[in-house]
Chain A
Amino acid sequence: EPEVTQTPSHQVTQMGQEVILRCVPISNHLYFYWYRQILGQKVEFLVSFYNNEISEKSEIFDDQFSVERPDGSNFTLKIRSTKLEDSAMYFCASRISGRAEAGELFFGEGSRLTVL
């Protein structure tokens, strides 16, 4: 069964360092998403990506964040200079269609980021 894969599963970094989280969406999907979940809090939307550009982003997704699809398979989230409050589980997701009722959103297992 096709699945969304994420690496690394856990990353520990020092405050101020750059972090890149990687995702391989399902191959025929067209819409890509990053979400995060701070421990004990809700799953929060960060950004959506379609046709090689950001289609929607939340207030959380400030200038410290960027996304890229560098090749035909990977979808990356970069945090330029990590802060303590960036510690969270980051989920990548993909969907074949942009319309919620038409296509299920498939999630990866998440990448846990710990900023010290």
Chain B
Amino acid sequence: GNSVTQMEGPVTLSEEAFLTINCTYTATGYPSLFWYVQYPGEGLQLLLKATKADDKGSNKGFEATYRKETTSFHLEKGSVQVSDSAVYFCALSSNQAGTALIFGKGTTLSVSS
């Protein structure tokens, strides 16, 4: 079945450091891929998405590229800020109507000044 594997956290960085959070997936067909973010005390929010191979999703300085050959969708940001501290979830959906998102475990990012 479909599944998502994320790198274990927590990830602790200093402000302005480079961020990579690895995500790989297993799926039949051609899923859509997502990164969701959960700030403290809030619900999950869509950060970015990519719906086909080689697409790059980007938002708020974060980027992720849909790599079908490596079944990966790694999240990157060139210079993190303290306000980026949150839990990041990689997710996939199989593009069929009504099909739910499958989430990874989540990776906690903590950025210090």
Beta-carbon contact of A48 and B100 below 8 Å: yes
Beta-carbon contact of A45 and B102 below 8 Å: yes
Binds B, one of A12-20, A71-79, A93-101: A93-101
B25 within 8 A of A: no
Within the complex, the shortest CB–CB distance from B65 to chain A, in Å, comes to 16
| Tally of chain B residues near chain A (CB < 8 A) | 27
Residue of A whose beta carbon sits closest to that of B94: A100
Asked, given contacts A55-B98, A98-B98, A101-B95, whether A91 binds B43 with beta carbons under 8 Å apart, the answer is: yes
Within the complex, the shortest CB–CB distance from B35 to chain A, in Å, comes to 12
Beta-carbon contact of B32 and A43 below 8 Å: no
Chain A neighbourhood of B94, CB < 8 A:
100
Asked, given contacts A42-B103, A99-B97, whether A109 binds B89 with beta carbons under 8 Å apart, the answer is: no
8 Å CB interface, B50-85 against A: 51
Beta-carbon contact of B98 and A109 below 8 Å: no
Most buried by B among A50, A58, A107, A110: A107
Beta-carbon contact of A48 and B104 below 8 Å: no
Contacting B46 at CB < 8 Å: which of A35, A55, A104, A108? A104
A115 within 8 A of B: no
Hey, which bits of chain B sit against chain A, CB under 8 A? 31-32, 34, 36, 41-46, 49, 51, 89, 93-106
Hey, which bits of chain A sit against chain B, CB under 8 A? 4, 31, 33, 35, 41-45, 48, 50, 55-56, 58, 91, 93, 97-101, 104-105, 107-110
